[in-house]
Copies of this chain bind each other. A is one copy, B any other.
Amino acid sequence: MTELDYIAWIRQQTCLGDHVLLGPGDDCAALTWPSGQPVLITTDMLLEGSCFRLAEAGPYRVGRKAMAVNLSDVAAMAGRPIAAVVSVGLPRGLEATAAQQLYRGLRDLADAFSTALVGGDTNSWTGGLVISVTLLGEPTGRGPVTRRGAEPGDWLFVTGPLGGSIAGRHLDFTPRIFEAQRLHQLVHLKAMIDLSDGLAADLRHLCAESGCGARLLAGQIPLTAAAQTATDGQTPLDHALGDGEDFELLFAVSPADGAMLLAQQPLRPLGCELSHVGVCLPQGLELQHPEGQLVPLPETGYVHRW
């Protein structure tokens, strides 16, 4: 297959949205932008062997994941996604249907979140499959939610069970776009982050940006079935703290907002149960076991090294 055949095929698939002045096929795409609204922008790259195994996942789920991880970043700002561009490095010899399935995976999830695929860059090479998505979004309601606003005393919540994502959920998760927007309407989200590196590591990031500490309550951290049944010698809690790619949201709210969220569970109609997993402190990162024992928060979580 050639780049030109692929681009011609993609252009046939393209369903342009409200914001699209100029879609795929020119040097740039062009979007209208809501007057006065900031542009949220995020980018994430997936690399074969590191972020997925192509033979195991198949190209459809790789495309889907590439879009999903970017949507999750926009969710973490309580934003609304608008449009995306995609660059790919395709291994020589990849079948035409595999390239098309990759696009279908991207496109199906983009469509589900009203996100226009407006352009990209198609390359081939002798290396593994690489895909990089850049997503634009706009803030909703009270503006972008950053990692910066958590304060001592705030309650920490997560949007779902954690750990063991490698068993499959890292490919099939649904980004928490709608949940974040609903929360943003209901309460003052003081700080938020999506869990891509693991709860312990991402809590560390959120606290570093906010200039505070935190205590996690081990007994209240929700665990996935995959974390509970893993047989690799780590405890379910180890998995929940250390495994990356949960793509749930971790956020801080005032105790009053937190109590309301716990009492009302307002996201239950969306299939999302909120868990109160900790509190913010002036400093330090601690883990409190159900029996009351306090230990330093383990320094686990995925970090790229080279």
Contact = CB atoms under 8 A, between A and B. Distances in A.
Contact of A130 (B33, B38, B130): B130
Nearest to A29: B41
A140 interface: no
A22 B144 CA distance: 10
B4 A27 contact: no
Number of identical monomers bound together in the oligomeric complex: 2
Contacts of A49: 125-127
Interface in A142-156: 144, 146-148
Contact of A121 (B36, B43, B122, B146): B43
Contact of A139 (B30, B40, B42, B91): B30
A43 B3 contact: no
A137 interface: yes
A26 B89 contact: no
B304 A3 contact: yes
A148 B25 CA distance: 10
Given A306-B1, A306-B90, A41 B28 contact: yes
A98 B235 CA distance: 39
Interface in A41-81: 41-45, 47-51, 72-74, 76-77, 79
Contacts of A1: 305-306
A44 B121 contact: yes
Nearest to A193: B27
Interface string A110-147: 00000000111111111110101010110100001011
6 contacts: A2-B305, A22-B144, A35-B36, A43-B121, A43-B132, A123-B304
